[in-house]
Amino acid sequence: MTAPVLMVLASFLFALMGVCVKLASAHFGTGEIVMYRGLIGALTMVVLMRQRGQSMRTTVPWMHLWRGVVGVSSLCLWFYAISGLPLATAMTLNYLSPIWMAMFLIGGSVLMGGARINPRLIATVLVGFVGVAAILRPSIDRDQLWFGLIGLGSGMLSAMAYLQITALGRVGEPETRVVFFFSCGGTLVGLALMLLDGGPSAWHGWAASLLLLGVGLFATAAQLAMTRAFAIGRPLVNASLQYLGIVFAFGFGVVLFDDPVHPLALLGMLLVIGSGITATQLRHGNGPRQNAQDTLPPDLDT
């Protein structure tokens, strides 16, 4: 398959993962969902690494630890936000990561005494947060505001995780090893959260168990499709196509969960998508020198 087709497939699979998370949250706690998602991902990566003859040993364990802490925290917050928000809203807030990264770039430039800050980048960030305001005002009830703030936090942590993924790529870590250690971290953190929440849930039937399996399988399949797309395709095209996940999630939310359709929320989603694509283009286009590892695919579910 071509890279654009793979990215569309990955976006669709991530939206399906979101559907499974939302349905599973009626029966399982966030920690339990994160644990099974991580366990399935880790087992899949073990199989892939064995097939490719790759070792699990790493020379940069502390970098993996930091990536795991940030990425798993983002994942937990995102899954928690999905349980209490319209599906498309939760995905949009998590997909704010390019805008957060643009903010980090601006802040870093100010702290390092950079002489010039691209005004288009500043405008992109502002437009992105206008989009967030448009999404949250019509589509979140007062009792859902907490979930909205959690969703915003997941997007910010996702941006930090993406930066760490790039750093790991620059030191030569293969994506399978990065995803493996991240999945192991998710398994351990999810297990701890599950135990703190009173232990594993009671048996809810095969349908509920299949939802947990779906979370792990859809997320892992989406990661593999996305990784392949970034390996053979154009990074900016792929980064733009990933926002189709919001469109898919919106359709699933309306059809499966009767999520409300607010014109202002739709406008906000368009602003966030446009700002994210623009921020990605500006970050890639304005750097001093494009490093090959900068094209590593982000782990979209962090």
CB-based contact 282:125 (threshold 8 Å): no
100, pLDDT greater than 60? yes
**% pLDDT > 90, the chain:** 33
Is 68 inside any structural domain?
yes
Could you tell me the end-to-end alpha-carbon distance of the chain, in angstroms, rounded to an integer?
Answer: 24
Token pair 């005002």 in the structure block, residue: 137
Q: What is the residue-averaged pLDDT of the chain?
A: 82
CA angle 18/20/22 to nearest 5° reads: 70
Residue 284 confidence (pLDDT): 60
List, for residues 41-58, the tens digit of each pLDDT value: 999 999 999 999 999 999
The count of structural domains within the chain is 1
List, for residues 108-156, the tens digit of each pLDDT value: 766 666 556 667 777 877 787 788 778 776 666 767 888 888 998 998 8
Is 204 inside any structural domain?
yes
Q: Average pLDDT of 202-228?
A: 88
Is 259 inside any structural domain?
yes
Is 75 inside any structural domain?
yes
Is 300 inside any structural domain?
no
Is 39 inside any structural domain?
yes
Residue 19 confidence (pLDDT): 95
Q: How confident is the model at residue 295 (pLDDT cuts 50, 70, 90)?
A: very low
pTM reported for the whole predicted model: 0.80
Q: Give the domain extent around 266.
A: 3-295
List, for residues 255-279, the tens digit of each pLDDT value: 998 888 888 888 888 888 888 788 7
Cβ burial, residue 111 (10 Å; 0-12/13-18/19+):
exposed
Residue 222 CB neighbours (<10 A)? 26
Number of H helices, E strands in the chain: 12, 0
DSSP for 165-183, please give it: HHHHHHTT--HHHHHHHHH
Residue 183 confidence (pLDDT): 92
Nearest-10 crossing angle of helices 61-84, 87-94: 150
Q: How far apart are CA 247 and CA 250, in angstroms?
A: 5
Residues in the chain: 302
What 8-state DSSP symbol labels residue 197? T
Is 228 inside any structural domain?
yes
CB contact set of 121 (below 8 Å; sequence gap of 6+): 102, 105, 106, 279, 282, 283, 286
Is 302 inside any structural domain?
no
Q: How confident is the model at residue 171 (pLDDT cuts 50, 70, 90)?
A: confident
Q: How confident is the model at residue 296 (pLDDT cuts 50, 70, 90)?
A: very low
Flag the least confident range among 44-53, 69-78, 285-294. 285-294
